[in-house]
Chains A and B, each alone.
Chain A
Amino acid sequence: MAQIEQSDKGKKKKGAQKKMSIHVDFTPMVDMNMLLITFFMLCTTMIKSQTLQITLPTNEKIEQQDMNKAKESEAITLIVTTERDAEGNVKRDDEGRPMNVVYYYEGQPDLTNVVDGKLANNNIHKEAFLGNDGAVQRGIRKILHDRNKQVLEKIDKLKVQWRNKEFSPKSETNDSIYQAKAKEIRNDSTLTRPVVIIKATPEASWESLIGALDEMQINQISRYQIDNINQVDSVLILDYIGKNGK
């Protein structure tokens, strides 16, 4: 493989040292390297998983009066569910997206005024996870966005400052000051902020629950919790489906 060529063409003086040019053939080396690269490329995960950190309330029984009841005007309850076919597979819409649905009501559930076995004052509504269409919020995001408008407006202003690096020219300090200020705004009790209670039906997909938690991050909602679905919620949903269909 390695070749040593004599490059004299017979015209050189006798006695002069022979010049040798050394060629090493690197082709097998390249072959081997390519193989190794292929191996590493196939076996690696480039993107590390992200995590959402959540805190669940304790399971211990809390006395009724100790419970930190959410103010009725601030509370909004989301019930996420997923439409499934008879075999339990997630149904998909025309665009191939899973059919995750959110039922929501503001304040307390209204079970009063029963007419012919139907709840006339049913305050539950149905929305979907639609995300953004350009800068316009759609679906459940719009509802949460509107509820948390005061906080979001302040944070948007803060974001502009952050982009212009007004807090500090160093990007690290700039980031941390922005984070601290954003947190302050999120927890500012003088603003009207919603309290979101997230519930999931047994057939709701994991994706839909994460989607709901994700909406909290997107809409900068600091007060939310995951709760178990109860009888009242199922009654409301069944009543809604009975009236409006699925």
Chain B
Amino acid sequence: MGKVKIKRKSTLIDMTAMSDVTVLLLTFFMLTSTFLQKEPVTVMTPSSVSEIKVPTANLASILVSPEGKVFLSIAGEADPTVADGEWATEPIRKEILTKAVAEYNRIHPSKKVNLTEKDVEVFSKLTTFGVPFQNLEKFLRMSQTDQDKFISDMNNAGVGIPIDDNKDLEKPNEFQIWMRAIYSSGNENLQSSMKKGEGIAVKADKGTPYSIVHHVLDNLQTLKMNRFSLMTALKTEQD
């Protein structure tokens, strides 16, 4: 009897189809994704039935932590062809910082803040900021990891934009200085969307007591920015 020959089949699997699928999926995710914003505190926004989406451009959003600390993040014009890119996020952030610091120095001549070009450059790359003017120099000269660590420490008194019940716009508090600087940054699209109420978004956690958020709302009212939006999540069925 002859030996039975076992045919050796090649174990190669054709991966081309699989690769096609993965590339498609990858393209989908790359095109639809907006990256998660790095924020000093994670807040769970309350839910509502409203279906108006948050704009991604020309927006000043105010983040209120449950401890009452206030952070700001600014987004400029997304279209680079508008105003030769002068209204884009980074130039506008530089402009706002320069304006705000100049205003602060005018009001507090004894405690002047001096920033270098490099500090301004660092600031323009920050998505969210929130330190008192006096800590700005120190904060902007830290390394990025140190900045993140510093700003996430909610028990530190030197974190968060100071805010109080000030109603006197001749002597604005730091939050009011920032908001005015944002309003008069020179980006007309940002200004008009702030006027319409789309350009200001307040974000706070579900459980934050009203007394804390009220500070922010009250300050906006004092600044005559009466129209603004409140960030919420989409309501689910069981709510």
Please report A residues at the B interface, Cβ cutoff 8 Å: 23-27, 29-30, 33-34, 36-37, 40-41, 43-59, 80, 82, 88-90, 98, 131, 200-211, 213-214, 217-218, 226
Contact = CB atoms under 8 A, between A and B. Distances in A.
Nearest to A55: B227
A44 B33 contact: yes
Interface-centre pick from A50, A88, A207, A213 (highest chain B CB count, 10 A): A50
B226 A57 contact: yes
Given A53-B52, A56-B217, A206-B46, A29 B227 contact: no
B54 A48 contact: yes
A47 B34 CA distance: 10
A43 B209 contact: no
B201 interface: yes
A200 B210 contact: yes
A50 B233 contact: yes
Given A26-B18, A49-B232, 12 more contacts: A25-B15, A33-B19, A40-B26, A40-B33, A44-B33, A50-B52, A50-B234, A55-B197, A204-B210, A205-B210, A210-B46, A213-B230
28 contacts: A23-B14, A26-B16, A26-B19, A44-B29, A44-B34, A44-B35, A45-B33, A48-B34, A49-B45, A49-B203, A49-B232, A50-B51, A50-B52, A51-B53, A52-B48, A52-B52, A53-B230, A59-B221, A131-B239, A202-B210, A203-B209, A205-B209, A206-B204, A206-B205, A207-B206, A207-B207, A214-B232, A217-B49
A61 to B, nearest CB: 11
A181 B235 CA distance: 25
Contacts of B26: 33, 36-37, 40
B227 A49 contact: no
Interface-centre pick from B19, B36, B203, B227 (highest chain A CB count, 10 A): B19
Contact of B167 (A46, A50, A59, A211): A59
A121 B211 CA distance: 29
Given A49-B45, A206-B213, A217-B50, A41 B204 contact: no
Interface of A is mostly: mixed
A58 B15 CA distance: 65
Interface residues of B, number: 58
Interface in B207-239: 207-211, 213-214, 217, 220-222, 224, 226-235, 239
Nearest to B231: A49
B69 to A, nearest CB: 15
Given A50-B53, A52-B230, A204-B209, A23 B36 contact: no
B114 interface: no
Contact of B230 (A27, A204, A210): A210
B107 interface: no
Nearest to B208: A206
A29 B231 contact: no
Contacts of A218: 49
Contacts of B33: 40, 43-45
B22 interface: yes
Nearest to A217: B49
B12 interface: yes
Nearest to B17: A26
B235 to A, nearest CB: 8
B51 to A, nearest CB: 6
A56 B75 CA distance: 24
Interface in B168-186: none
B116 interface: no
